[in-house]
Amino acid sequence: MFDVVEAFIMVTLVRALVVVFPLLLTALAGTSHGNAAEPVLLDQREIELPEMRILSLSPDVSAIAAASLSLDRLCIYETESLAERICTGLAPLEAGLRMDDVVWSPDSARIVLAEQAYVRFVDGDLWLMDAVTGELTNVTDDGVTGRIPILDTDEVEFTELFIDVSPTWLPDSSGITFSRSTWRDGEWLGNTTEIIPVTGGESRLLLTVSTDTPGVVYYGMRWAADTKRLFYSVCFADHSNPNNGIWSTNAEGSGNTQLLRSDPDYGPPFIAGLSLLGETVLAYYPAAAGNLAAPKRPMYSVIDVASGEITPIEVLSSGGSEYVFARPVVLSPDGTVLTYAGRLTTPDFLIYARTIASSVESLLIPEGLPGAAPITLTAPVSWSHDGHVLLLNSPDKGTILHIPGGVDLALIAATPDSATPEASPFSTPESMYIEPGATVFVNDNDVPLRSAPDTDAQTVAVLSAGMELTVMGPQVDADGHTWVPVTDPQRARLDTFESSF
């Protein structure tokens, strides 16, 4: 192990894990888990978009995204009038649209899309669609087209490709966090979580999840609104893998915590909802939802992040029947209220709501809401900040519920931390001061580690992308570059999933 502090690396070639993300901090006023009033249904509206697949409601509730039945077009409709705003052809998406990954930006200005690369075994990228003009932009183009070597590496005509899925937005809409799997020189290098600015360019590594297995973060990620925690789902093909489940990490890609493990019968849980500040996670077992027989255990659970307490979600008025279950379940933005459809109730599809802290259900739609369902097995149903929820009755028909109840959804827009007014998740390393003791990762291959802060100094090691280093002292400006003294380069390459945590 190389272990002297006189080894230096140019700061342009490392990624600091202490970047402050100055965002519009979204907070909720006057809410708590213990005193929220019982929710009520204020309004209910049926919508229909013939020959379309309804996908999602924009965060500001002004627009609805829907895809054609053949998934060759993505269209935006005005929520109030259902008039078509814009339609965009999806022919540039070589692997086709992945309906789980049609995600509105928090400011409702754009939608990020992912492709079905793992389904069609064809290269897939992330795309941005402007919600007003319909302009489509490939934001993570790797220059590769055609078949990907998931099953067969014969006759491959490229040396590197990326498969990007499960995008989620930074809360200020400035960038996208996503799951990336890398294939290079004939082998899979595993799965990472990266961040790319909305303007495109190079992505930055946030977290290495697996060093050899692609696609293990495949079903969704979400940031808390203050960008202090990222929540993500891990799903290895082996459902008994102890690393499967729901995890969280901080904005530096460290301090990882497993919140919920895989279930022996239902498989890995995925994230179906997150409170704005990350105190509450709604977990979902899609393998259970895919069973033809009615599940005998709840397929949704609520996780209290601070205590780790896990509460399965059952229809409380079922009388203990093992056949009645809740699906879909939707979490309010402040994490205090659930609304859900009761399945196999009488009548079927009764719509309930309740505060998480109470044991009392409010029956919102006593006549039921036939067909109430999520969009896909894994795409979460969102509850907007002003209390609107979109449920599907069929692919082209839906119901918009207005359920603010007793939940105070008044938002406070705070300015970024004045102590770091110039910081950004995409600040160049040259603009950052990296504190001694911080952990950094190399973000390129064949990076020289030198014995002194000089490009002519002896190269004592050659580092690879993803290697973890520890900063040992203050930065040094020399030779026209900024240098950082580091140690332990040999220890940092993450060999197992567990070691990355």
Domain of 78 in residue numbering reads as: 25-414
Q: 12 and 43 share a domain?
A: no
Residue 422: inside a domain: no
Backbone angles phi, psi at 429, to 5 degrees: -55, -30
- Token digits of residue 10: 């140019």
| pLDDT, the chain, mean | 79
The mean-pLDDT minimum among 16-25, 255-264, 305-314, 382-391 falls in 16-25
Residue 445: inside a domain: yes
Name the domain count of the chain: 2
Q: 372 and 491 share a domain?
A: no
Rg over alpha carbons for the chain, rounded to the nearest Å, is 24
Q: 400 and 460 share a domain?
A: no
| pTM passes above 0.85 | no
Cα-Cα end-to-end distance for the chain: 21
Q: Which residue has the tokens 């086709």?
A: 96
Over 70: is that where the pLDDT of 10 sits? no
Digit-coded pLDDT (tens) for 58-82: 999 999 999 999 999 999 999 999 9
Q: 305 and 347 share a domain?
A: yes
Give the Cα separation of 433 and 416 in Å (integer).
19
Q: 13 and 75 share a domain?
A: no
Residue 420: inside a domain: no
Half-sphere exposure of 350 (CA within 13 A, CB side): 18
* Greater model confidence, 28 or 238: 238
Residue 334: inside a domain: yes
Q: Left, alpha or beta for 143 (phi > 0: left; psi -120 to 50: alpha)? A: left
Residue 81 near residue 90, CB atoms below 8 Å: no
Q: 13 and 43 share a domain?
A: no
Residue 421: inside a domain: no
Secondary structure letter of residue 295 according to DSSP: P
* Greater model confidence, 467 or 103: 103
Residues 6+ apart with CB under 8 A from 292: none
Domain boundary among 380, 414, 448: 414
Q: 351 and 310 share a domain?
A: yes
pLDDT for 33 equals 38
- Interior angle at CA 226, CA 198 and CA 246, nearest 5: 90
Over 80: is that where the pLDDT of 109 sits? yes
Q: 15 and 37 share a domain?
A: no
* Greater model confidence, 256 or 176: 176
Domain boundary among 384, 414, 444: 414
Domain boundary among 392, 414, 436: 414
Q: 335 and 482 share a domain?
A: no
Q: 36 and 12 share a domain?
A: no
Residue 124: inside a domain: yes
Give the Cα separation of 301 and 281 in Å (integer).
8
pLDDT for 145 equals 82
Over 60: is that where the pLDDT of 491 sits? no
Q: 43 and 162 share a domain?
A: yes
Give the Cα separation of 217 and 235 in Å (integer).
6
CATH number at residue 31: 2.120.10.30
pLDDT for 399 equals 93
Residue 398: inside a domain: yes
Q: 365 and 460 share a domain?
A: no
What is the average pLDDT across 278-283? 94
pLDDT for 74 equals 97
Secondary structure letter of residue 139 according to DSSP: S
Residue 419: inside a domain: no
